[in-house]
Amino acid sequence: MSKRISLTQYLVEQQRHQGNIPGQLRLLIEVVARACKTIAISVNKGALGEVLGTAGSENVQGEVQKKLDIISNEVLIEANQWGGHLAAMASEEMDSIHPVPDRYPQGEYLLLFDPLDGSSNIDVNVSIGTIFSVLRKLSDHENITERDFLQPGSRQAAAGYCVYGPQTSLVLTVGNGVAMFTLDREMGSWVLTQEQVQIPADTKEFAINMSNMRHWAPPVKRYIDECLAGKEGPRGKDFNMRWVASMVADVHRILTRGGVFLYPWDKREPDKPGKLRLMYEANPMAFIVEQAGGAATNGHQRIMELQPGKLHERVSVVLGSKNEVERVTGYHAQGHEQSHAQGQAQPQAAG
């Protein structure tokens, strides 16, 4: 049997040889990975654990919370607040930030998470996940506020996600490529199963919620129309479509075999830049995708360069195989030039 490398060993080696991981960051990643194991147990129990269905509450974005959204959020908070590695946490499921309680030492990092991504798939037994992003606390003061979190994604010290699917996988970057781990359920440990993951630059697969087609902006419509035209169209090749409706699962497929994922701005809620959240979903996924040789933009700009204006900010997302993301971004730039020349207003150019 080939030698198995555990998450702990991987992190120790990164710390020792690459200098990529300070001690507190290593602890943070191990604690998040352990919390994901706890969430995986609840997910696997399903109806037997009485974890399905709605919780009867709404989050700050007005979305109905599922029981598992709340359970996962609590697991991550409980696991992370006492270790001395964090100053504060922020979550898609909490209105405001959660500073580490005074009774615990304050650490150097800020942790953000989407505790349960793909909530609409919980009850139907389709892959769901947890997404996390790690920032450094930049100031010396101990009184952490939302402002401390408002850093562009390029400042992330680490990012990762866990997919609760047929296998439970943990995908991680600390800015030195992307590593994948698979949960060995019998042993209860994360085993390194792929290193230096690379997304092919070209693809024949796209992911978008096609039911929103009539609401899209012209550059997105043009891109998808060209994919649908297949061999006979301008792209000269047939495309395949996949849409899991769990970003973790769609991104995991793209990391595994390439593809492009779009959740663009659309006319349903024209004042919102998009559906997905910049700090809990787009930034960590953009970091992972770029570290795997892919690209991530909001149609105009690199996602990781966007300066967040508020914690729960939303953003339009195009990510995955580099050449496709560049094509979609190029179509937006052309559209911008054209409507500029005609003096028309732009649909949500900003994040």
Length of the chain: 351
3-state secondary structure of 132: strand
Residue 266 in contact with ligand AHG, rule: CB under 6 A: no
Task: Work out how close the CB of 120 gets to ligand AHG at its nearest, in angstroms, rounded to a whole number.
Answer: 6
3-state secondary structure of 175: coil
Span from 90-98, 132-140, 166-174, 256-264 in contact with Mn ion (CB under 5 A): 90-98
Residue 264 in contact with ligand AHG, rule: CB under 6 A: no
Span from 115-123, 292-300, 331-339, 341-349 in contact with ligand AHG (CB under 6 A): 115-123
| Nearer CB in complex with ligand AHG: 99/118 | 118
- Binder of Mn ion out of 21, 85, 117, 262 (CB under 5 A): 117
Contact 213, 202 (CB under 8 A): no
Span from 76-84, 118-126, 153-161, 226-234 in contact with ligand AHG (CB under 6 A): 118-126
Q: Interhelix angle for 23-45 vs 67-80, to 10°? A: 150
Residue 259 in contact with ligand AHG, rule: CB under 6 A: no
- Measured CA to CA, the distance from residue 152 to residue 287 in angstroms comes to 11
- Binder of ligand AHG out of 114, 148, 205, 266 (CB under 6 A): 114
- Binder of ligand AHG out of 41, 150, 213, 245 (CB under 6 A): 245
Q: Which of 311, 297, 312, 286 is nearest to 350 (CA)?
A: 297
Q: Give residue 298's Cα distance to chain centre.
A: 14
Residue 209 in contact with ligand AHG, rule: CB under 6 A: yes
- What is the DSSP annotation of 196-261? S----S--SEEE--GGGGGGB-HHHHHHHHHHHTGGGSTT-S--EE---S-HHHHHHHHHHH--EE
| Nearer CB in complex with Mn ion: 25/162 | 162
Residue 246 in contact with ligand AHG, rule: CB under 6 A: yes
- Binder of Mn ion out of 7, 114, 121, 216 (CB under 5 A): 114
Residue 118 in contact with ligand AHG, rule: CB under 6 A: yes
- Binder of ligand AHG out of 9, 44, 57, 120 (CB under 6 A): 120
Tell me how many residues contact ligand AHG (CB under 6 A). Answer: 13
Tell me how many residues contact Mn ion (CB under 5 A). Answer: 4
Q: Over 292-350, what HEC string results?
A: CCCEEECCCCEHHHCCCCCCCCEECEEEECHHHHHHHHHHHHHHHHHHHHCCCCCCCCC
- Measured CA to CA, the distance from residue 104 to residue 87 in angstroms comes to 10
| Nearer CB in complex with ligand AHG: 246/298 | 246
Site for ligand AHG in 281-300 (CB under 6 A): none
Task: Work out how close the CB of 278 gets to ligand AHG at its nearest, in angstroms, rounded to a whole number.
Answer: 13
Name the residue type at position 323. Answer: N
| Nearer CB in complex with ligand AHG: 85/312 | 312
Contact 335, 341 (CB under 8 A): no
167: DSSP letter: S
In the complex, which residues of this chain contact ligand AHG (CB under 6 A)? 63, 92, 114, 117-120, 209, 245-247, 263, 275
In the complex, which residues of this chain contact Mn ion (CB under 5 A)? 92, 114, 116-117
